[in-house]
Structure 1
Amino acid sequence: MDAADEFCECFPAAYLAFHRRDGRRGGLSNASRAVLQHLSRTGPISIGEAARHLDRAQSVVSEIVSQLEGHGLLEREPDPDNRRRTLVWLTPAGLERLRTDADVLDRTLVARAMHHLDETTRRGLIDGLNALVSASRKETP
């Protein structure tokens, strides 16, 4: 059995051991996720700008922003260049929610298992996986 076969044999067991079991993306609608993701890439913008970028009606985006603000994931702030404009931006809780929403694996389960490994083995796993992903980007289809 070559290395690719060995990896492919081990991967399903690793996924089953560590995948998230909390209903991944729990609680965020696709529209809310799109607003949060867009803001994470653009930085603070007005609701009108967000509506144009997301190709949604301004009233729809405004409602989504209000809901996210009510959950503490977004905040409104005055535009430093134009005090009549209001910008929306992610709170630290919003940034954290985006991070955890994107997780495929349960970080707590992985941390518990990693705790039982020595530092050399942990580093080897991380470096090896990073190298494998990097090598995949160099391949031509």
Structure 2
Amino acid sequence: MSEVDAFCAAFPKAYLAFHRRDGRRSGLTNASRAVLTHLAGSGPITIGEASRHLDRAQSVVSEIVSQLEGHGLLEREPDPADRRRTLVWLTDAGLARLRQDSDVLDRALVAEAMDRLDTTTRRGLIDGLHALVAAARRKEQP
């Protein structure tokens, strides 16, 4: 069996061993996820800016922000450049929830399995995956 065949045979087994099985991810609605994801990419912005970026009514975004703020995922802060403006930003809990929501693999299952490997094997596994992804990206570049 070639190395390509061996990798392609092992990959689905790895996915099946470690994929998330918890159904609905973090309980975020699509609208809430969109606001959190946008803020993670844009940095702190006003509700008006967020509504324009997301192409949603300001009242709708304001309501989503208030709900997320109530759950401790967002916070409002004065704009240091203009104290009359209020910016919205992710809390540490919001960043963690967004990361958890985007996880494909069950971190606990991966951690259990990795704990059974020696340090050299763990490092080799991680380095090998990074090298494989980097090799794929080099092909994509003109």
Please report the TM-score for the alignment, with normalisation by the length of structure 2: 0.94
The letter of the residue matching 2:60 is V
Q: Alpha-carbon deviation of 1:24? A: 4.7
How many pairs were matched up? 141
1:58-69 aligned at under 5 Å gives the runs 58-69=58-69
What amino acid maps onto 1:43 in structure 2? G
Matches within 5 A, 1:42-121: 42-121=42-121
Instruction: Deviation per CA, 1:21-67: give whole Å up to 9, x if none.
Output: 11253311111111101111111110000001111110110011011
Say which SS state the counterpart of residue 109 (structure 1) adopts.
Answer: helix
Do 1:68 and 1:74's aligned partners in 2 also have CA atoms closer than 8 Å? yes
4+ long deviations beyond 3 Å = none
In 1: Cα distance, 2:139 partner to 2:79 partner: 45
Matching residue's letter, 1:104:
V
Q: Which position in structure 1 is the counterpart of 2:11?
A: 11
Which residue of structure 2 aligns with residue 134 of structure 1? 134
Q: Is the 8 A contact 1:77 1:87 kept in 2?
A: yes
Segments of 5+ residues of structure 2 without an aligned counterpart are none
Query: Contact 2:26 / 2:100 at 8 angstroms: preserved in 1?
Result: no
Letter in 2 for 1:76: R
Answer yes or no: is 1:39 the counterpart of 2:39: yes
Could you tell me whether the CA contact under 8 Å between 2:44 and 2:87 is conserved in 1? yes
RMSD over aligned Cα, in angstroms? Answer: 1.3
Q: Which runs of 5+ in 1 are unaligned?
A: none
Matching residue's letter, 1:51: S
| Deviates further, 90-99 or 25-34 | 25-34
Which AA in structure 1 matches 2:20?
R
